[in-house]
Structure 1
Amino acid sequence: MSENKNKYGADNIQALEGLEAVRKRPGMYIGSTDSKGLHHLVWEVVDNSIDEHLAGHCDAISITIHKDNSITVKDNGRGIPVGMHAKLKKSALEVVMTILHAGGKFDKDTYKVSGGLHGVGVSCVNALSDYLKAEVHRDGKIYIQEYSEGKPQTEVIESGTTDKRGTFITYRPDANIFDELDYKYDILATRFKEMSYLNSGLTLILEDEREQVEGKNRTDTYYSEGGLKEFVKYIDQSRTAIIENPIYVKAKEDNVEVEVAMQYNTSYSENIYSFVNNINTREGGTHVSGFKRAVNRVFLKFAEDNGLFSKLKFKVSGEDFREGMTAIVSVKVPEPQFKGQTKGELGNSEVTGIVSRACGKVLQYYLEENKHEAKRIIDKVILAATARHAARKARELVQRKNVLTGSGL
């Protein structure tokens, strides 16, 4: 090997400036560069619009897939500020679009809760797009700035007057970064349907210019008035419910908002879907732990107080209380701590107690006031516990036989 190859000095240390780090290691910011990462770009842009809705300033978001697989997201929020940033001496719009960890999410007065926690969202999308246009309708004027690979191609230009307000983002993912560029309509549609249930009163419109239906672009509109109660019924539509209406929890403690809808059905599976500030926490976290704790505690106490477990000769476990349950646990947390950039699991320890107390009160009241439904749920729990106990006994018997006959591994 040559001497130069082995040389390690000050010149070998690289400092990536601006959004170069995102382009160099995109997986650190959006998880991957496959189809999942490609769709993650849409979630990041839409999350900003959802935050405007949560702050009470936006009630409609439209998402358009163009023929070249570029995306436009429009909202009717306040519009990203365009004034000069005092410290950085450039337009606030350019700051938000080109600097990591920049935005209104870090100012508690601007957004009480926010999905785009790390403040890397829209600047990440900008870095990973070969073209992006930000158009802001604010204070009766239209402002536009265009970018390529995260770098501004123009100054912020004032481009006429408007009677609308909001932020319009159009971007085209960079083919040099992503393994594929084809947006899947069904993936987007499923997520936006979910978002409409999580944000009652918000209208989401998805349009696809690549596909024609009766001579028009394929379009679907998502809107929910009933929120999580409608959501849990939608998930359970192919199952037989054993209680007439979902059990619903809505509470607030220490600025943490808790909303839960749960239903019991005749199936044998447990389905718990959890969200923090509208982000799907697939690995669960402290909010799900709090919910499970409340279910176990309240149902066990109710059953024991009413002598419903008196004939059982074995202990009922937590999973027995959740067999045949479909639940959605949604919390709004001002300063969520996620495990990992892709926000799969909530880590805030204080949320466990808040969710547990909120759910505990409502469940206790529900069971006392709805004795017939309570009896049906407890019967289902007893059936689950009995089946689990019998399965364990059968396994032990087989294992004993194997040991006695010498057929063990």
Structure 2
Amino acid sequence: MSDIEKPQGDYSASNIQVLEGIEHVRKRPAMYIGDVGVRGLHHLVYEVVDNSIDEAMAGFCKEITVIIHEDNSITVRDDGRGIPVDIHEKEQLSALELVMTRLGAGGKFDKNTYKVSGGLHGVGVSCVNALSSRCTVHVYRDGKIYLQEYEKGVAITPVKVIGETEDRGTETRFWPDSTIFTTTEYRFDTLASRLRELAYLNKGVRITLIDERERLDENGHQQQEARYLTKTFYSEGGLTEFVQFLDSNREPLHPEPIYIQGTDDANTTPVEIAIQYNTSFKENIHSYVNNINT
């Protein structure tokens, strides 16, 4: 009988690694965004946009702009309240730096700042920052423009005032880390599909997608000196218009969708339903909770 070889290698306390916060995100990104391929790359955009949508659901944001730059970096700008920049009493750091660099830091845990919210609840935007080679945030708040810059999830500058403004909101630009993602090239149609969906789910909010990688003339032809490829999504009808959009290639059995709106007994959870029957035998059901597809 041959001897059975024993596995090599010790297993002791020295083998235990402790990865904290941002370091853990960079080491195991798929745990936070699903994967490091095309899907995960686009998920970065959705996480930042979700913060803007949360401002919209709270009643403070009407305009959201997403820009794909020529270098495939992304800018998300909204006209919400702007991430707070004052010093957090316990952590003795700017609230902006906390939100951008600490997992679990955010305004979605109390029931006053946001009654309803989506995203990763204090994890999303810090994950985006961690998985970006570079990130900058401009905050337009209280008459001033604030700026902080980051590399791989770590602040490399303090929060500083760089000007004055009458605007309000947050502008985040990030460069996905090419050492983490298998591709860093964004697909316009993929982003457009999700942003269109969000516009229907949040009636009255205007969402604009701009692609600076592609210029079009008045006839839609590519041209060097022309406007950027742009799509704007806006809905006054919300779910009813969404249903009509989804049914646009089918023959409806009634001209207007059935629309039902109400709340639970405690009057804390609003519910909306829109239905339209058509001649097709195939069901097409979409369900969402706080804008997240379920």
Q: What is the TM-score when the length of structure 1 is the normalising length?
A: 0.67
In the other structure, the counterpart of 2:81 is 78
1:9 matched to 2:20: no
Which of 32, 40, 46 is equivalent to 1:43?
A: 46
In the other structure, the counterpart of 2:227 is 216
In the other structure, the counterpart of 1:235 is 246
Structure 2: gaps spanning 5 or more residues: 1-5, 218-225
> Is the 8 Å Cα contact of residues 148 and 159 (structure 2) preserved in structure 1?
yes
User: How far does the alpha carbon of each residue in 1:76-132 deviate from its partner, in whole angstroms, 9 at most, with x for none?
Assistant: 000000000111111000000001111001011000000124321100000000000
Q: CA deviation at 1:18?
A: 2.4
> Is the 8 Å Cα contact of residues 106 and 121 (structure 2) preserved in structure 1?
no
Q: CA deviation at 1:280?
A: 1.5
In the other structure, the counterpart of 2:223 is none
Structure 1: gaps spanning 5 or more residues: 282-409
The aligned amino acid for 2:250 is R
> Is the 8 Å Cα contact of residues 253 and 278 (structure 2) preserved in structure 1?
yes
Q: Highest Rg: 1 or 2? A: 1
Q: CA deviation at 1:69?
A: 0.3
Distance 1:13 1:88 in 2: 28
Q: What does 1:286-301 align with in structure 2 at a 5 Å threshold? A: none
Displaced runs of 4 or more, over 2 A: none
The aligned amino acid for 2:69 is H
> Is the 8 Å Cα contact of residues 105 and 116 (structure 1) preserved in structure 2?
no
Distance 1:57 1:102 in 2: 21
> Is the 8 Å Cα contact of residues 250 and 257 (structure 1) preserved in structure 2?
yes
> Is the 8 Å Cα contact of residues 33 and 44 (structure 2) preserved in structure 1?
yes
Q: What does 1:379-390 align with in structure 2 at a 5 Å threshold? A: none
User: How far does the alpha carbon of each residue in 1:278-299 deviate from its partner, in whole angstroms, 9 at most, with x for none?
Assistant: 1122xxxxxxxxxxxxxxxxxx
1:161 matched to 2:164: yes
In the other structure, the counterpart of 2:222 is none
Distance 2:274 2:161 in 1: 47
1:267 matched to 2:269: no
Q: CA deviation at 1:260?
A: 0.8
1:89 matched to 2:92: yes
1:225 matched to 2:236: yes
SS in structure 2 at match of 1:191: helix
SS in structure 2 at match of 1:123: helix
Q: What does 1:167-182 align with in structure 2 at a 5 Å threshold? A: 167-182=170-185
Q: CA deviation at 1:10?
A: 1.7
In the other structure, the counterpart of 1:342 is none
More helix by share: 1
> Is the 8 Å Cα contact of residues 133 and 146 (structure 1) preserved in structure 2?
yes
Q: CA deviation at 1:244?
A: 2.5
Distance 1:178 1:138 in 2: 33
Aligned residues: 278
Q: What does 1:55-74 align with in structure 2 at a 5 Å threshold? A: 55-74=58-77
SS in structure 2 at match of 1:187: helix
Give the alignment's Cα RMSD to 1 decimal: 1.1
Distance 1:117 1:6 in 2: 38
The aligned amino acid for 1:222 is F
User: How far does the alpha carbon of each residue in 1:306-352 deviate from its partner, in whole angstroms, 9 at most, with x for none?
Assistant: xxxxxxxxxxxxxxxxxxxxxxxxxxxxxxxxxxxxxxxxxxxxxxx
The aligned amino acid for 1:131 is R
Distance 1:114 1:82 in 2: 21
SS in structure 2 at match of 1:219: strand
